[in-house]
Amino acid sequence: MTNAKRKLKITLIVWSFLILAGCVLALLFRNGVLWFNMPSKKKYPVRGVDASHYQGKMDWETIANQGITFAFLKATEGSGTVDDCFQQNWLNARAAGLYVGAYHFFSFDSSAVTQADNYISVVPATEDSLPPVIDLEYYRKENLPPAKAVRESLRVLVSHLRQAYGKVPIIYTTDACWKEYLKDAEFEYTLWIRSIYTSPPSYLKPKWTFWQYNPRGMLDGYEGGEVLIDLNVFRGSMEEFRKYAAQSIRTG
């Protein structure tokens, strides 16, 4: 075998290995086994999930036993949609000893008042639950209302939820939505940021309290739906989380 043929053979072997390795890594990433963000458990000991009917049947005791402290559950969307699994998830997650909150998927197409009414009609006003959550993210890119109009809708929705539950609402959002709709917001809210490739940016105001670091996590304890689940951390110690949860019970 000539040197040229030998070099070609080695090159083909190397490229074949790299392609195979890339495919394996992509498969692990797609299935939630491998992820970019791995927040330190020492720095972020308070872990949580957010879930909906997409996860199917949930065994919340099993989930709680995997180091999970809190859960945010999808309750409503827009002005009329209710998550089919919310009531069962709400009762069972609380029974498992988790700190539980409920989230509303914000619609760019519905009145803020009717969206608030939808959420309030579904989510119990229990004093020991976490504050109400507004899920603000793009679900389309065309024909969106002006940023000023969206910001006003959010202000109204935050106000209605705060009045109904006596707690400062949480807004879950992406960096792009924060920049467009929340950067100049003049109402009070707690920030839950989605940042899946790096840690949350330092310029966020208010500083983030919750961080969704992995939307493709894997845990035991659910079946019949998605095999992946969103993973989150709280910014602080367990003592600080308990203090936050207690203070959020009635803030007026």
What stretch of H or E contains 65?
none
Shared-domain flag, residues 54 and 133: yes
Shared-domain flag, residues 1 and 23: yes
1 pLDDT above the threshold of 90 = no
Find the CATH number of the domain harbouring 242: 3.20.20.80
State pLDDT tens for residues 208-231: 999 999 998 999 999 999 889 999
In a domain, 125, yes or no: yes
This prediction's pTM: 0.87
144 pLDDT above the threshold of 70 = yes
How does DSSP classify residue 55? G
State pLDDT tens for residues 87-108: 999 999 999 999 999 999 999 9
pLDDT of residue 21: 43
Shared-domain flag, residues 138 and 19: no
Domain hosting residue 20, numbered range: 1-30
In a domain, 252, yes or no: no
Q: Strand 68-77 and strand 81-82: pairing?
A: antiparallel
Shared-domain flag, residues 114 and 191: yes
Provide the number of structural domains found in the chain: 2
- State the Cα–Cα distance between residues 60 and 216, nearest whole angstrom: 18
More confident residue, 217 or 24: 217
pLDDT of residue 8: 58
Q: Where are the alpha helices (DSSP H) in 31-170?
A: 60-64, 86-95, 112-122, 147-165
Shared-domain flag, residues 112 and 141: yes
Shared-domain flag, residues 20 and 52: no
| Overall average pLDDT of the 159-188 stretch | 96
Both structure tokens of 43: 């720095």
Shared-domain flag, residues 152 and 212: yes
40 pLDDT above the threshold of 70 = yes
Q: What is the DSSP code string of 121-148? A: HHS---TTSPPPEEEE--S-SSSPPPHH
Give burial (CB, 10 Å; 0-12/13-18/19+) of 121. Answer: exposed
The phi, psi pair for 169, rounded to 5°, reads -65, 155
Confidence label for 38 from pLDDT (cuts 50, 70 and 90): confident
